């Protein structure tokens, strides 16, 4: 077959895809209406996070902060608590800045034009396209990893998924075929197809795919080769020793420095590098921390995008509450302080009862 005969006309996908979406779309909390605020919150939460994990966060967030005004005014500590466990905390800090900008520059009304939406902190081309199309039905593509994968498979485009030229060209191809009347549905249909049928891991469910009839990768059996994978950079390993300083029913926490990873969130005191219990005895004495015993309580790993933390945890039973730290009960920590997922792994151990500690020993 010569190249011109082989060229896929993406226009042919519009009708079958819209029809499939109408009959198969999942019921998701952010799809109850097309309020731009809800679309925005869900799209930001869904970056790097699975749909099932996002659902309870979304409901809780919208209940507490139902509109732009409430987000613009919420205290930072409470905002971080609402986001606790979702990770990538700069996302929610930028949301607050964007909400303040909407209040200051757009009279508190979510802007409609793509350029205005794109001018808000933390909103890139994908999110601006998603909001413009889903909330305001404008024919503007929103190209994320799911959409790239679908189009690369349909057209057997062999460029690497991370290649910015690929994203630009897919955006342009889609812009030409966007249905004016159903722009929002088309955006969501493409995302949905990538999320539940043309899946990234394992085999795509081509037998259930509404655009199988025009898919080049399906006909050649080459689905899993698209998009081409970029060579992964090895993650940087950081080793840490985490101190669970306990005194009666309280545990010590401190605030992370501004400007770095997980800035401004709370953490259990920790040291760079791995230490033995014996070495910790000396270090704790130098820190003037009065303690009775130190118990090793296991290793944990936490993976960020480019860094991996390998952590050793030690329970330290203190005689007094050192003033270097903030001391909190289990209830206070759960209710009022945002503790990143990397440290959540130690929370249960920090508040273990005596029997459990004996088991650790």
User: Catalytic positions, please?
Assistant: 43
Minimum distance of ligand SF4 from residue 205's CB (angstroms): 6
Q: Rounded distance, CA 20 to CA 194, Å?
A: 13
Q: What's 19-87 look like in SS3? A: HHHHHHCCCCHHHCCCCHHHHHHHHHHHCCCCHHHHHHHHHHHHHHCCCHHHHHHCCHHHHHHHHCCCC
Q: Rounded distance, CA 101 to CA 113, Å?
A: 15
Minimum distance of ligand SF4 from residue 202's CB (angstroms): 12
Nearer Cβ to ligand SF4 (87/161): 161
Residue given tokens 């009960």 in the structure block: 329
250 has which bridge partners? 247
Nearer Cβ to ligand SF4 (102/217): 217
Minimum distance of ligand SF4 from residue 218's CB (angstroms): 4
Nearest one of 245, 299, 295 to 268, comparing CA atoms:
245
- Per-residue b or e along 181-219, where b marks 16 or more CB atoms closer than 10 Å to that residue's CB: ebbbbbbbbbbbbbbebbeeeeebebeebbbbebbbbbe
Nearest one of 144, 147, 153, 158 to 204, comparing CA atoms:
153
Nearer Cβ to ligand SF4 (39/198): 198
Q: Rounded distance, CA 83 to CA 183, Å?
A: 30
Contact status, residue 64 vs residue 318, Cβ threshold 8 Å: no
Nearer Cβ to ligand SF4 (220/276): 220
Q: Rounded distance, CA 171 to CA 28, Å?
A: 26
Minimum distance of ligand SF4 from residue 125's CB (angstroms): 23
> In sequence order, which residues have a C-beta less than 8 Å from that of residue 56 and are 6 or more positions away?
none
Nearer Cβ to ligand SF4 (108/158): 158
Residues near ligand SF4, by CB under 6 A: 150, 153-154, 197-198, 204, 206, 209, 211-212, 215, 217-218, 223
Nearer Cβ to ligand SF4 (128/209): 209
Nearest one of 109, 129, 102 to 118, comparing CA atoms:
129
Minimum distance of ligand SF4 from residue 147's CB (angstroms): 11
Minimum distance of ligand SF4 from residue 24's CB (angstroms): 13
Nearest one of 187, 199, 193, 188 to 211, comparing CA atoms:
193
């Amino acid at each position: 077959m010569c190249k011109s005969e082989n060229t896929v006309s993406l226009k042919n996908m519009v009708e079958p895809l819209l029809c499939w979406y109408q009959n198969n779309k999942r019921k998701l909390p952010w799809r109850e209406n097309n309020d731009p605020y809800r679309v925005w919150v869900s799209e930001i939460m869904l970056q790097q996070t699975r749909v099932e994990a996002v659902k309870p966060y979304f409901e809780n967030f919208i209940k507490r902060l139902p509109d732009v005004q409430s987000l613009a005014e919420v205290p930072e500590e409470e905002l971080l608590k609402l986001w606790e466990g979702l990770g990538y905390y700069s996302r929610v800090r930028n949301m607050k800045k964007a909400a303040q900008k909407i209040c200051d520059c757009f009279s508190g009304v979510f802007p409609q034009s793509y350029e205005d939406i794109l001018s808000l902190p933390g909103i890139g081309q994908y999110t601006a396209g998603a909001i413009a199309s889903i909330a305001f039905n404008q024919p503007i593509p929103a190209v994320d990893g799911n959409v790239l994968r679908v189009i690369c498979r349909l057209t057997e485009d062999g460029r690497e998924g991370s290649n910015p030229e690929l994203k630009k060209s897919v955006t342009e191809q889609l812009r030409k075929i966007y249905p004016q009347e159903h722009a929002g549905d088309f955006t969501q249909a493409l995302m949905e197809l990538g999320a539940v049928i043309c899946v990234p891991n394992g085999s795509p469910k081509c037998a259930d795919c509404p655009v199988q009839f025009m898919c080049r990768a399906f006909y050649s059996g080459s689905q899993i080769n698209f998009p081409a994978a970029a060579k992964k950079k090895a993650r940087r390993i950081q080793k840490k020793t985490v101190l669970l300083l306990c005194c009666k029913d309280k545990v010590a926490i401190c605030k992370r420095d501004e400007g770095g990873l997980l800035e401004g969130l709370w953490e259990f005191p920790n040291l760079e590098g791995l230490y033995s219990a014996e070495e910790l005895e000396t270090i704790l004495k130098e820190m003037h921390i009065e303690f009775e015993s130190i118990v090793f309580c296991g290793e944990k790993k936490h993976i960020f995008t480019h860094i991996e933390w390998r952590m050793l945890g030690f329970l330290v039973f203190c005689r007094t509450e050192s003033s270097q730290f903030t001391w909190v009960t289990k209830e206070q920590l759960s209710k009022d302080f945002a503790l990143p997922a990397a440290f959540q792994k130690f929370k249960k151990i920090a508040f273990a009862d005596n029997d459990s500690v004996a088991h650790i020993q």
